[in-house]
Amino acid sequence: MSGVMQLLVAAFLGELFALVLGLPVPGPAVGMSILFVAFVCAGWQIEGIERLFDALAPHFGVVFVPAAVGFIASLDLLAHAWLAAAMAVLVATCLAVLTVGLAFQAVARICARGETS
Amino acid sequence: MSCTDLFGEGGYFGLALTVLVYWASSVLWQRSGRAALLHPILISTLFIAAVLMAFECSYEGYAAQSRPLMLGLGLVVVLLAVPLARNRAYLLASVQPCWVALAIGAAVSIVATLALPLSMGADPSVIPTMLPKSATAGVAVGISAEIGGVPGLTAVIVIGAGVVGASLGPKVLDLAGVADERARGFALGVASHAIGTARALQMSDTAGAFAALGMVLNAVLTVLLAPVVMMLVSV
């Protein structure tokens, strides 16, 4: 199966499972899990889809732009809560990046030290 | 030239505009030495929003024409299985740091998202709208509707968290001295979902794999935690 077919099959199965089973997680996340399991357990060849992924990965950002522009449709909603929303987004996101990064690095160091000693 | 000429049904101007503006802002970003505030998602979004508002065009027409990119968003998430599979030995060797960092990140994220707006005098009714902030948009909007938030505003806040993490996140990690590629990726995935993951992939394949993992784990955790937090807050 070509890489493109693998991608489409996994995406389709993900949407199908999410819909039929009524999962709270969206179809693409289920599709990602299916594709991962297919590579690791079902012996799907990864080479074809790897070329596709490596060619597209630097440009992934473009798919988020149309959804992000959607904020202009909510400007009246934002008018009431813009300060709270802006603070939560700016400060809480930076805090989350900071603490997750520091915690991961600290625990990884402790684990590495435990293995070498 | 009116809005219906440019953004009418069945046209592709919105799609072409998005790709062109994104390409130009990517070049600008590379030339600037990847300056945080010039990240192409941020610049393209603001530029296109400014164009639409300047010509008084509705978002709906532009969104309908850009539909192929929004469908591509789902395929991008499915494709993240590739870095996960490539780095699986690495992922399995980092189980403990992942769980600890996820737990701490979720706690900090929830407390900050609740405490900051309330301490600034915001109405407590904004809580259910803001709570799912760090989950990926599809999950967050569903949770927000379930716990009594405003889904449209949640979507804006979620995307905002993504753009802030993608643009400022790497700088924050530099300043804090977080050099471990796994930690950098995981932090961006947990705090800024798929947009943070797209940014992590621009750093390295390993960072991208850990970002994808962080994004998924945080989405699942948010689904489980949000109703519990709402119950605790309303008591």
- Residues of chain A in contact with residue B94, where contact means CB-CB under 8 angstroms, are 108
Q: Do B159 and A67 touch (CB under 8 A)?
A: yes
Quote the pLDDT of residue B62.
93
Which residues touch A63 (CB under 8 Å, ≥6 apart)? B69, B70, B72, B73, B76
Q: What is the pLDDT of residues B25-38, one digit of tens each?
A: 999 999 998 888 88
Buried b (16+ CB within 10 A) or exposed e, B54-79: eeebebebbbbbbeebbebbbbbbbb
pLDDT grade for A22, boundaries at 50, 70 and 90: confident
How far is residue B199's CA from residue B212's CA, in Å, rounded to a whole number?
11
Q: Return the residue of A nearest to B161 by Cα.
A: A89
Q: What is the pLDDT of residues B164-223, one digit of tens each?
A: 999 999 999 999 999 999 999 999 999 999 899 999 999 999 999 999 999 988 888 888
Q: Return the residue of A nearest to B80 by Cα.
A: A32
Residue B221: what residue type?
L
Secondary structure in 3-state letters for B153-184 = HHHHHHHHHHHHHHHHHHHHHHHCCCCCHHHH
Q: What is the pLDDT of residues B64-84, one digit of tens each?
A: 999 888 888 889 889 989 998
Asked if B162 is an interface residue toward chain A (Cβ–Cβ < 8 A), one would say: yes
The pTM for the full model equals 0.87
Q: Are A25 and B223 in contact (CB under 8 A)?
A: yes
Pick the residue of B82, B188, B210 with the most A CBs within 10 A to test the interface with A by mutation.
B82
Q: What is the DSSP string of B111-163?
A: HHHHHHHHHTT--GGGHHHHTTTTS-HHHHHHHHHHTT--HHHHHHHHHHHHH
Please name which of A14, A62, A95 lies closest in space to residue B190, comparing C-alpha atoms.
A95
The answer for A13, left when phi > 0, alpha when psi is -120 to 50, beta otherwise, is alpha
Asked if B201 is an interface residue toward chain A (Cβ–Cβ < 8 A), one would say: yes
Tell whether the model's pLDDT for residue B1 goes beyond 70. no
Residue carrying the six token digits 């407590």: B124
| pLDDT above 90 as % of chain B | 44
Asked if B28 is an interface residue toward chain A (Cβ–Cβ < 8 A), one would say: no
Tell whether the model's pLDDT for residue B138 goes beyond 80. no
Shortest CA gap A56–chain B (Å): 9
Q: Do B184 and A73 touch (CB under 8 A)?
A: no
- Residues of chain B in contact with residue A64, where contact means CB-CB under 8 angstroms, are 41, 73, 159, 162, 194-195, 198
Extract the tokens encoding B54: 């300047």
Asked if B165 is an interface residue toward chain A (Cβ–Cβ < 8 A), one would say: yes
**Neighbour-count burial of A101, counting CB atoms closer than 10 A to its CB (0-12 exposed, 13-18 middle, 19+ buried):** buried
Q: Are B69 and A62 in contact (CB under 8 A)?
A: yes
Quote the pLDDT of residue A11.
94
Extract the tokens encoding B33: 């030495």
Q: Are B211 and B196 in contact (CB under 8 A)?
A: yes
Comparing CB atoms, the residue among A39, A68, A96 nearest residue B81 is A39
Quote the pLDDT of residue B222.
84
Count of CB atoms situated within 10 Å of the CB of A8: 15
How far is residue B63's CA from residue A66's CA, in Å, rounded to a whole number?
6
Q: What is the pLDDT of residues A90-115, one digit of tens each?
A: 999 999 999 999 999 999 999 888 77
Q: What size, in residues, is chain A? A: 117
Extract the tokens encoding B59: 């978002």
